[in-house]
Chain A
Amino acid sequence: MLHSLYIINKAGGLIYLKNYTDGIATLSSNEYLVLAGTFHSIHVITSKLSPVPGSSGIEVLEADLFKMFCIQTPTGTKFLLVTDPLQSNVDAIMRKIYETYADYVMKNPFYTPEMPIRADLFDLNLNKIVKQINS
């Protein structure tokens, strides 16, 4: 089960957020921005904490009732996926989401890189992916 998807740009700004399950408490848009910025900082800190140089930042966060996965692309964009703890195959799902982003966000002439994403076809194609998993 996928709960939420966050996309954070390389400066730590939240550029996309969708919740896919009911009952998720919604925060104000300002709170979400703070959340994304804070996560961005934690990501940097975790990579600095690593005893091995060149380590990535935080990749998985596990809790009793959810898991959060993060991938950072080599361009610095972060995809955060909140799932239930039993969700399998997250690597493949992430990859699919990244490809969908490359297709429907980056090839959309009306999108400016690093800015908030508003693209119907991106929403639509993400929904297809989520629907397959959540139903």
Chain B
Amino acid sequence: MSQRFRLPSGGHVDRSQRLGFSFDGRRYEGHAGDTLASALLANGVRLVGRSFKYHRPRGIFSAGIEEPNALVELRDGARREPNTRATVAELFDGLSATSQNHRGSLGFDWMAVNGLLAPFIGAGFYYKTFMWPAAFWERVYEPMIRKAAGLGRASGLPDPDHYEAAHAHCDVLVVGAGAAGLAAARAAGAAGARVILAEQDFLLGGDLLNEAEHDAWRSETIAALEAMPEVTVMPRTMVFGAYDQGVLGAIERVADHLPEPPPHTPRQRYWTIRATAVVLATGAHERLIAFPGNDRPGVMLAGAARTYARRYGVRAGETAALFATHDAAYDAAFALAEAGTRIAAIIDPRTDSAAMQRAREAGLAVRAGSVVNGTVGGKALRGVEIGTVGSASRGDAVPADLLMISGGWNPAVHLASMSGAALRWDDALLAFVPEEREESAWQRSAGACRGVHGFGAAAADGAAAGRAAAVAAGFDAADIPLPDAPSADHRPYALWEVKGGGKAFVDIQDDVTADDIRLAHREGFSHIEHAKRYTTHAMGTDQGKVGGLVGAAVLAEARGEPVASVGLPRFRPYTAPIAWGAMAGGEVGRHFQPVRRTALHGVHDELGAVWMDAGIWKRPAYYPKAGDTDGWASVKREARAVRERVGVCDVSTLGKIVVEGPDAATFLDRVYANTFSTLAVGRARYGLMLREDGIVFDDGTTTRLGPDRFFVTTTTAQAGPVMQHLEFHLASAWPDLDVSLASVTDQWAAMSIAGPKARDVVAAVVHGLDVSSEAFPFMAVADCKVAGVPARLFRISFSGELAYEIATPAGYATHVWQAVMEAGVPYGIEPYGVEALGLLRIEKGHVAGSEINGQTTALDLGLGRMLKKKGEFIGRVLAQRPGLTDQSRPHLVGLRSVDPARQIRAGSHLLVDGQDCGWISSATQSVVDPGWIGLGLLRDGEARIGSRIIAANPLMGEEVPVTVTSPHGYDAENLRVRT
């Protein structure tokens, strides 16, 4: 099929370059410089999609980012991208696109039956209809609605492309490279400022691209910008959001105009731009008029038809009508007439105007005082019905396959509004424009985005804004050559809607009609934000760029108020859709988050460890061995080795903080609920830390290394928060204390050697230290050498067995571990993982993160005796509140499944006589007395020891009888750790 709507010359397409592409499987040809939309129009393709709700046939409506209809699936396979706007998709050779949102073919869509049901599926239909029965929502209604709704299909495959995040700094950021933006960038650049000029289009010029007679100024300005070394021009870069303090976000489409990105090139780049001053020159979006049938393929914004003719050399129709409320739109009729399209009628509600007279002089048929009150046609426009202003009766029809409409221009105020500018109603333009405010002098709007239309006026406004921005960034103002050109009159007649039979859309993409807006008002959703959510008005990918204000005007009329007081919904990023991949950037797959490995990671890997995540740490869960029937067999084997012989476990992930200074002991007394100032040098003590609200925060052992020097350990999970907690209180509450803190978690590797034979193993590797119980009792700490390298030995235990912990500078970790393993061979040493560690501590009754869960007090955990009676500490005062000292609060207990074979689970509820009285916090299988055991928090827990209750898990359909026990069932006298 030839490009029969392509003009022989003119515009910014290169007719010598032929690009083949396909749409819905049919082959077409376009040129370099085309968008998919302009190439489709050149080939006479009018029907490009189906609407969201009613599945009405739709055509290309705009020529830019505001496109509501022409959304396609671009590319195939893993690169398929749904909901891509054909109006901004740059044509390349081999492009393949598919229409979306229809079952069956685009021409015959089964879902179009929704159009016949339209009287029943207005705004709020889903809310009202799918209410009952409630259980049907999840199983029946929602899947059905989800199947029917939505637009394009995601590929469902991993994205083969990669994306980059990048940062840029500049003195002046100019957003938009139309007349205003080009002038602003040049003025700021001439002043010497570092300038970034970002333009979403692949060509610079904006509306200048439609004005061949001004192309010399455009080319000369671009050349001047390229000659300035401090000016960076970024085409294909859409600024999508404005944030605080001159930070703006942008997407650079690096390779979207190519079949696929070249090697080592990202598809898109996500820019964070920090600018001292910002000029917004984002232009304006033309708005529709609501009239019956205003969505028919062939109805198009007037400015878009003009752009297709002038920039792309494409006639959007054979016979056109123009329905406009202001003079500036008439240029579309002149452009189409020049291109050879027959102008059937110009329909204008006004009585007379300069442009009307010019049109008459040019021989065009002008129907003053008229409106379009209907369209004729099915999948393509065939005619336009013309009535008179204020009359409900239908008038005559004129044949046309293109109806160009314009209800005025809405300044693109999105970024201005996001960055804090108030919006002001402009009575002449009938639109919101940004209020200029002194406190936002670093940021200003220029040109059409603040209502200054016309090439000459916009360029002058842009130059002034660029100069001011450069001055705001500390440069001296400079002048640039400016063009002289008259401005067309953009002030529209106030006509938002032509009422009549049939659907008059205010939001074409979401199928929201003027009647839907009125329905929302009648049903009480009269605030613009409520009406938006009730009707989905302006919630599509176009965010109401062409019809948002029209919907607001319909609502204003229903409320009997001016549009200005109805306003617009809040503008938020993103101004136009961006790809998820760009937001994710390089942080995908294994780069999604960092992995923390201990110094012994390679050792565990060689031992075949099964890994588990502890935050971002990788820790060995257990080490499977031949003969282990399952994971539990491995875990229990490891735990038995500790109970019966000796085991070794990597505990390097515990947080380690050195607290040093003359006031270190005083500080620790204040941050811990127990006392450390009485601790002797060379001794360790278990410490309990509370939050200010009296809830337990963390626990761990702290060692006194010297009079003014302590070594604090924290749990793995709370290492960071505890450090921050200590830093905060030193800075805010006790700046008078002379204390320094240093996190040394990564500097030290640590391993626990636990079991009845632990001393034999430790004695074999430690030099220069008597490790007998007399010389080195429970809670002793000393520096020593292990296997010839420096180390520190702690006699502390988490497992309930005789145990030592060897800490060594991380670089020696593997050497020390291997020495320990070798020394342990005669004693049957086994490495044990986090699962066995958990088993052992539950058996012993030690609390961990499942019990110190941010809800429990020291009293709840049976640790009330640790709270010092005298002296200040964080959490002391608020822990005394009645709610936290209530005797009926759930208390730590041990639990044992009555039937040793029946599993109990963490999270199960504890039922006493059918009443929910607590929960299981941790569960495991005992190796000392086989069967399922656990720890839990139970109301009146201590009083219930010995009684039988129910552990209920409704999710698993289980009710397991359990016996309440003391949590300290294993070696309650603590003899084993002290031997």
Partners in one complex: no
List residues of chain A with CB under 8 Å of any chain B CB.
none
